[in-house]
Amino acid sequence: MAARDSIMHKPKDSRGALARMLRYLRPFLPLLLLVFALCICSNLLSLWGPNLAGSAINEAAAGEGKVDFERVWYYAKRMLICYAASSALTVLIHVIMMNISKRAAKQMRRSVFEKLMRLPVSYFDRNQAGDIISRVSYDIDVISTCMATDVVAILTSVVTVVGSVVMMITISPLLSLVVLFSVPASVIYTSRMRKKTQPRFVKRSKSYGVMNGFVEEMLSGQKTIRAYAYGGRVEERFDEINSAAAEAYYDADRYGVTIGPTMGTINNITLSLIALFGSLLFMGGRILLGDISSFVLYSRKFSGPINEIANIINELFSALAASERVFELLDAEEEPKDADDALKLENVRGDVAMEHVAFGYDPGKTIIHDLSMHAEAGKLIAIVGPTGAGKTTIINLLMRFYDAQSGSITVDGHEICSCTRESLRKAFAMVLQDTWVFRGTIFENIAYGRQDATMEEVAAAAKAAHIHPFIMRLPKGYDTVVSEDGGNISKGQKQLLTIARAMLYDARMLILDEATSNVDTSTERAIQEAMRRLMQDKTCFVIAHRLSTIQNADLILVLDKGDVVEQGTHRELMERKGFYYRLYRSQFE
């Protein structure tokens, strides 16, 4: 029980979340006013029905053995017309609200996606992709459903409750006091249940985010799972997560489903009291039989929305829990904006220097301690070292995915923190070990960074990357569509596509993070020669684990535990017989 309580999350600001949800409906205020007017008309028509029913019964009861069917039929026809017109207006109301909710959800998803584009890389390092996707899809769907159905239900319920009370007081103020007994009981009960149910709906949303994250991770790693025969353990782990999600769902609904029946019990007790006191009043000649019938119908109309509100509250709690997760993402700290006087890098030469740089992803854990290096413009700089030495961290700092905690990083003598991020990142082209291609044609994938590129330029880059022959063997050549994440081409071919993309991109600096790890040795040598030729006068940063591939580098930085322990050319470092020498020799022993 303690473990379960430890992961229970209380809503932070329900009123604030509700206010922000309603803010997305503000652009549709005219339509909402129309819906409100239609709700009033629909409910007034519906509320007039019981009055007509009572009149028909009074006519039948007043006949003293001879019923005036013409008068009864007169009231019955009008009652039928009222209910038919009310139903037609209700359908129109729901159509309008579905349209509003669809557009509001579209705007909310746009806001979330635009926010994701402004968030720093650190946010995606801290949060599971599946959990983020769950917020964009599942949670916004819950909010959209609430907007489409619950808003109408609340409006309808309010009008119905108020109208029913007015009509009941008109018929018999004394009996109305009996009905109003249920109001405080209902309010007290729903208030207490809200405190129990809403935290459970928050927990349910979070558990679904965890499950989506796990499924996304396992689907992307299917080959590894099968290669290691790990499917059984994955199924066991999924069963645990799935059971936790199902338990969270059950735990939320277990309390939620009790609201409706309990409210029904309260209303049935009220109805019993109406029958008792109404009979006494009828026998005393203080109320007509038809009026009692109308009063009972109005009491049912009064209690119906109360029950409906109880169910709506259940759904509203779920929507509030989902909205808090969405707004938590929307409130996440964005990548800091550039200063108004930030420098826009132009005509970049590619002279890069780092002086006494210190950095750690966590405040209490420093990865880079005191890093200094100088990469002259147009030089090939290789960064080598054991796993965890800080090689990729240097790239993150150069691109300003993270900012150094101390020290200085300059490009052409300009401190990068004083430059705009966009101009700094446009000065780099990147090819990473984790290749990324999107659903689109091969031409579009290569020209990703150069939307104005011609076919000749794209083909030239593909030839230099040694992927042109493969492309020409495809059914539609450069117009062949690559499936999502490049599932219909090999990993090596995806890497060649990303290399061609970087070659086409007109940047003065190039970052290669194990960019040739998925191609064979002969192709790798050819690519290096072509890249060396195409990247003349451009500064290249190459992270390499296979030291045989960087022997021609102008400068090799040897990292160990966040510090540059050696630097120089391959020949110079081998002659010193230090850390690099031992690292190089270990790859051939």
Reading the chain (589 residues) residue by residue, the pLDDT tens digits are 333 333 333 445 677 777 888 888 888 889 888 988 898 888 888 888 777 777 777 766 665 555 567 777 887 888 888 889 988 998 998 889 888 888 888 898 899 988 988 888 888 888 877 788 888 888 888 888 888 777 777 778 788 888 878 888 888 888 877 777 666 777 677 667 767 776 777 777 778 778 877 777 776 666 567 666 677 778 888 888 888 888 887 877 777 677 767 777 777 777 777 777 777 777 777 777 777 777 777 777 777 676 666 667 767 777 888 888 888 889 888 888 888 888 998 888 889 999 989 898 887 788 888 888 888 888 888 888 887 778 888 888 998 989 998 999 999 999 999 999 988 988 888 887 777 787 888 998 888 878 788 999 899 888 888 889 889 998 889 998 887 665 667 777 787 888 888 888 878 888 888 766 666 666 666 666 666 666 667 888 888 777 767 888 888 988 888 788 888 888 999 999 888 888 888 876 5
Last residue of a domain, one of 476, 506, 536: 506
Same-domain pairing of 415 and 436 = no
pLDDT confidence of residue 526: 62
Q: How many CB atoms lie within 10 A of CB 310?
A: 22
Same-domain pairing of 365 and 405 = yes
Same-domain pairing of 205 and 317 = yes
Instruction: Write out the residue range of the structural domain in which residue 562 sits.
Output: 337-427+508-589
Last residue of a domain, one of 465, 491, 506: 506
509 strand-pairing partners: 428, 539
Domain contains 233: yes
pLDDT confidence of residue 7: 32
pLDDT confidence of residue 59: 67
Domain contains 141: yes
pLDDT confidence of residue 48: 83
In angstroms, rounded to a whole number, what is the distance separating the alpha carbons of residues 559 and 72? 97
Same-domain pairing of 191 and 310 = yes
Domain contains 407: yes
Domain contains 28: no
Same-domain pairing of 368 and 438 = no
- The CATH code of the domain that includes 381 is 3.40.50.300
In angstroms, rounded to a whole number, what is the distance separating the alpha carbons of residues 301 and 431? 67
- The CATH code of the domain that includes 277 is 1.20.1560.10
Domain contains 182: yes
CB 530 within 8 A of CB 338: no
Domain contains 574: yes
Long-range residue pairs from 518-521, CB within 8 A, at least 24 positions apart, any chain: 518/435, 518/491, 518/492, 518/494, 519/492, 519/495, 520/492
Last residue of a domain, one of 486, 506, 526: 506
Number of domains making up the chain: 3
pLDDT confidence of residue 299: 77
Same-domain pairing of 374 and 474 = no
Buried b (16+ CB within 10 A) or exposed e, 217-228: ebeeeeeeeeee
**pTM as predicted:** 0.69
358: helix, coil or strand?
A: strand
Same-domain pairing of 325 and 406 = no
Distances (CA, A) of 246 to 193, 241, 457: 21, 9, 54
Residue carrying the six token digits 């996304």: 216
In angstroms, rounded to a whole number, what is the distance separating the alpha carbons of residues 117 and 120? 8
Picking from 129, 13, 469, 56, the residue whose alpha carbon sits closest to that of residue 294 is 56
- What is the maximum alpha-carbon separation in the chain? 124
Same-domain pairing of 513 and 502 = no
